[in-house]
Amino acid sequence: MTGKVPYKSQIEIVKAQPIEFKPSFDPHAKDLISKLLQKEPKDRIGAQDFDDLKEHPFFATVIWENLRNINVPYVSLAQ
């Protein structure tokens, strides 16, 4: 979402400080990212129950049942 990785290595994850977000960053996105980047994998959103992840406000407009039927355009990364 920002074009940057939160950590550069596994060592940084262990010593991680809270991630700083710009004030203009979407609050639902900020909350989701914070919950995904929990140090302990078992504490991450969706780790215990995928419905927790699906029900997060960031995904409020997603119709999960229709995802398999959506045609996604091919975008070439070759230049």
Q: So where are the chain's domains?
A: 10-63
Judged on CB neighbours under 10 Å (0-12, 13-18, 19+), 35 is middle
Residue pLDDT, tens place only, 28-77: 999 998 898 888 889 999 999 999 999 999 999 999 999 889 888 888 87
Q: Is 35 in contact with 44 (CB distance < 8 Å)?
A: yes
Residue pLDDT, tens place only, 15-32: 556 677 888 999 999 999
Q: Is the pTM above the cut of 0.85?
A: no
Please, what is the Cα angle at 24 between 23 and 28, to 5 degrees?
A: 95
